[in-house]
């Protein structure tokens, strides 16, 4: 698979990128992903191909091995992948927005030069360790600690639900940890880079999950893990704030992925409605099916407009936190609703692993939870309305 063209800035270049990823998703991902999903196996060959295409480096400058594109280009790719499979799409989304972007946004020149070229090329993956077993949405309740001992940080604690953290090609995890106390009280939270294989740093076996079964998700453990003090990412005490800004961008990416799943449900349902016959007619001839699929298309279309709006504001340098929350909320709802309706259109076959809509149904729910639950999105929107 050849690399996509770099620096997608015009509508023609965006369309060329979209078409390239669509072709890859249909020809390379679709024929094999169900087997990976059933075996709960990470698709290394597909990740390698996406790396060769330049997808992991889309929003990263050419200086650090990227394609010199932008976040809108990444989201276009995520939507196309999401139409076929969410495990592959989330591997790309987390690899870029959570693995690469914290280093790209806040890292030193040395940190960028060390980690980004391999991540941008898909040769390695990065991960971000924020969530903890007792924290969930309350990321400020971080218990993992990092204390300076001479020229080293000593890290102790654990993280959970961390994507891309335990693959054979995972190279680094950015970890949030309490590094002190703020002057006015409260926890000082910083972000620290922990290379894979560092003594004391271990990962659990893969979780047994409802969906995203071909992606890598694990719990992380830190037992007196020592890394150089130069592994501090960004400013000490700003780790939580840094991650919140990364999360705003990531919500647009998750929205795009969600739209892909929602549109994939429409596409599969349309095909099936033409092929499946009942009472002597294709089921698409019946108004009950027509209206259901029409509603599915409305959801996908509306959610697409929402992530486009948020992405455009972001690229113009305008505030986009509220728009990102709206996009994530609307798109994840659309994915969940469309997957439920698509399964209904397929009837008994929708409950079989043989058909992709069953996989879509299992994958959709986490989109209402990961990178900020639907309740958190509503809280953010209300806050921006002055409530």
Kindly list the catalytic residues.
371
Provide the β-strand partners of residue 191.
Answer: 176, 233
E strand intervals along the chain? 125-129, 145-149, 152-163, 170-181, 187-195, 201-203, 217-228, 232-233, 277-278, 281-282
Residue 117 vs residues 59, 114, 125, 267, 372: alpha-carbon distances, Å? 13, 7, 11, 36, 29
Paired sense of beta strands 125-129 and 170-181, if any = parallel
Please give the Cα distance from 240 to 216 (Å, whole number). 24
DSSP 99: I
Place of tokens 């360790």: 129
Q: What's the gap between Cα 336 and its chain centre?
A: 16
Residue 120: closest CA among 177, 172, 167, 55: 55
For residue 184, the tally of other CB atoms under 10 A from its CB is: 5
Paired sense of beta strands 281-282 and 277-278, if any = antiparallel
Contact between 162 and 202 (Cβ < 8 Å): no
* Angle, helix 239-275 to helix 321-346, in steps of 10 degrees: 30
N residues, the chain: 387
Both tokens assigned to 47? 């990740």
Please give the Cα distance from 120 to 99 (Å, whole number). 10
Paired sense of beta strands 201-203 and 170-181, if any = unpaired
């Amino acid at each position: 698979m050849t690399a996509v063209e770099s620096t997608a800035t015009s509508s023609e270049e965006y369309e060329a990128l979209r078409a390239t990823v669509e072709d890859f998703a249909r020809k390379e991902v679709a024929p094999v992903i169900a087997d990976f999903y059933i075996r709960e196996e990470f698709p290394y060959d597909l990740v390698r191909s996406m790396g060769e295409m330049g997808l992991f480096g889309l929003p990263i400058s050419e200086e650090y091995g990227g394609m010199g594109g932008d976040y809108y280009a990444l989201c276009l790719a995520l939507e196309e992948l999401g139409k076929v499979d969410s495990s592959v799409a989330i591997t790309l989304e987390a690899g870029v927005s959570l693995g690469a972007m914290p280093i790209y946004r806040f890292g030193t020149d040395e940190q960028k030069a060390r980690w980004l070229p391999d991540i941008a090329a898909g040769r390695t993956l990065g991960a971000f360790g924020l969530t903890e077993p007792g924290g969930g949405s309350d990321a400020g309740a971080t218990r993992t600690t990092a204390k300076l001992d001479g020229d080293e940080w000593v890290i102790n604690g654990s993280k959970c639900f961390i994507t891309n953290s335990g693959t054979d090609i995972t190279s680094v995890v950015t970890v949030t940890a309490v590094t002190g106390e703020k002057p006015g009280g409260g926890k000082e939270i910083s972000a620290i880079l922990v290379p894979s294989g560092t003594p004391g740093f271990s990962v659990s076996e893969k979780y047994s999950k409802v969906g995203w079964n071909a992606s890598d998700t694990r719990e992380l453990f830190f037992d007196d893990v020592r890394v150089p003090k130069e592994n501090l990412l960004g400013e000490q005490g700003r780790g939580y704030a840094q991650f919140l800004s990364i999360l705003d961008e990531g919500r647009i990416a998750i929205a795009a992925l969600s739209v892909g799943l929602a549109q994939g449900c429409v596409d599969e349902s349309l095909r099936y409605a033409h092929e499946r016959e009942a009472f002597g007619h294709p089921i698409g001839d019946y108004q009950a099916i027509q209206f259901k699929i029409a509603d599915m298309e409305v959801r996908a279309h509306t959610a697409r407009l929402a992530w486009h709006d948020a992405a455009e504001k972001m690229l113009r340098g305008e505030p986009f936190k509220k728009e990102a929350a709206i996009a994530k909320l609307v798109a994840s709802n659309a994915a969940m609703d469309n997957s439920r309706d698509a399964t209904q259109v397929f009837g008994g076959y929708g409950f079989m692993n043989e058909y992709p809509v069953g996989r879509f149904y299992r994958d959709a729910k986490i989109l209402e939870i990961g990178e900020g639950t639907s309740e958190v999105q509503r809280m953010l929107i209300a806050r921006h309305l002055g409530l």
